[in-house]
Amino acid sequence: MKNFVVKTIANAGALAVAIWLLQDITLTDGSTGRKALTLILVALVFGLVNFVVKPIVKLLTLPLFILTLGLITLVVNALMLMLTSWLAGVLDLSFHVDGFWTAVLGGLIVSIVSWALNVVLPDED
């Protein structure tokens, strides 16, 4: 359970950094508390998308992983971020990613920051 909480916090932090750095990734809610709650909910959706959808997409694109020496990972991460944005819209959360190239850069930022936070934060079960 603790590992789930740590990964959710790491995802929320990584998404917050992407929102802060890129103007086309937005989180538009009123108060700071509402933004924090929305960010946690978006991090949960993002974690669910990465847990359920990403392994299927990786399996289906395995030849492209081999052919591009793993660079297709940037595209897969961008698609996961765009899917999270779409699901957030369906769930009436105020998180939006505007455009594919923004999603590519956002996916790269989220991956790097999430990795760094997972290294720093404890991951005991």
Which pLDDT score, from 0 to 100, does residue 21 have? 93
Long-range Cβ contacts of 110-114 (<8 Å, 24+ apart): 110/11, 110/14, 110/15, 110/17, 110/18, 110/46, 110/77, 110/81, 111/14, 111/77, 112/14, 113/13, 113/14, 113/17, 113/18, 114/10, 114/11, 114/13, 114/14
Is residue 123 very low, low, confident or very high in pLDDT (cuts 50, 70, 90)? low
* pLDDT (tens digit per residue) in 21-74: 999 999 887 788 888 899 999 999 999 998 999 889 989 989 988 998 888 989
Is residue 125 very low, low, confident or very high in pLDDT (cuts 50, 70, 90)? low
Which pLDDT score, from 0 to 100, does residue 34 have? 86
- Number of Cβ within a 10 Å radius of residue 85: 23
Q: Please, what is the angle between helix 2-21 and helix 100-120, to 10°?
A: 140
* pLDDT (tens digit per residue) in 64-120: 889 988 889 899 999 999 999 999 999 988 899 999 999 999 999 999 998 898 888
State the sign of the Cα–Cα–Cα–Cα dihedral 117, 50, 112, 39.
negative
Which pLDDT score, from 0 to 100, does residue 119 have? 83
